[in-house]
Amino acid sequence: MVKKTKKYFSHGKDHVITVILKGLFWLAPIAAITIIVIWVYEKINQLTGNMFELFGFEPEKYPFLWTIVGVFIMGAFAYIIGVFAETKLVDIVQKVYSKIPGYATIKELINIFNTSKSGEKKVLVVLIRGFSKDDYNVGLMYSTKESIIKDHYTVVLSMTPIPNGGYMFEVHKDKIKVIEEATFDSNLQYLLSMGVKSLADIVKTEPKNIEDFKTLSQFLEENNKEA
């Protein structure tokens, strides 16, 4: 009975976290645009004599309290948005925001960090040949869509310790090895550690021979069969 209760509670907690994350990723690009709008509004408010002070609203006097309230409201609101994101009404809101310049770009950038993506947009951690035949580099595939070159796919090699830069390569699918145990998050930890932490330690697995990693061709073939 106790085990069943714990299992049910764990499942319920995982569901709530999943929905909250879904809400956050849907909300992020809209929030970014909204922040910009609010910033412009605040500048206008300053020019018009700080209208908020007339109503006695001064959150800067209680920063810790307002931070707690803000986190609670954000979590509750993100959960509601997560539920809302599963309905068709979300398409209407997205169409409205898509008219705002920059929304599509921000949304695409946010989606890069959404590791729950699947199908052609699933983020893969991969290995490609380095400067010699015995060297390999760890990279990311943000999409499993075929490149402009037939049978080639885009692999990004990120910089360290600042992973928001890097180099893009078009690599033949048979020359790409997939690290199935790794995720976008574990690769980010690896980059930030500058190699101090082994990727094997981060994903909690034993080092393997290069022949034991699946090629992208094998990975795609197996996943297409499962689909």
> How does residue 1 score in pLDDT terms, banded at 50, 70 and 90?
low
Where along the chain do its domains lie?
Answer: 2-112, 119-226
* Predicted pLDDT at 19: 73
* Predicted pLDDT at 70: 58
Distance CA 227, CA 208 (A): 28
Mean pLDDT value of segment 19-40:
66
* Predicted pLDDT at 92: 73
Residue 140 clears pLDDT 80, i.e. is over it: yes
The residue ranking higher by pLDDT, 71 or 214, is: 214
Compute φ and ψ for 178, nearest 5 degrees.
-95, 130
Residue 226 clears pLDDT 80, i.e. is over it: no
Q: Which residues contact 126 (CB under 8 A, 6 or more apart)?
A: 138, 139, 140, 141, 155, 176, 177, 178, 179, 216
The residue ranking higher by pLDDT, 83 or 187, is: 187
DSSP helix/strand/coil, 205 = coil
| Single pTM value for the model | 0.52
Residue 2 clears pLDDT 50, i.e. is over it: no
> How does residue 166 score in pLDDT terms, banded at 50, 70 and 90?
confident
* Predicted pLDDT at 169: 93
Residue 149 clears pLDDT 90, i.e. is over it: yes
On average, the pLDDT of the chain sits at 75
Distance CA 144, CA 156 (A): 12
Chain position carrying tokens 């297409």: 224
* Predicted pLDDT at 119: 55
Chain position carrying tokens 């980059």: 191
Is the CATH number 2.60.40 carried by domain 119-226?
no
* Predicted pLDDT at 53: 57
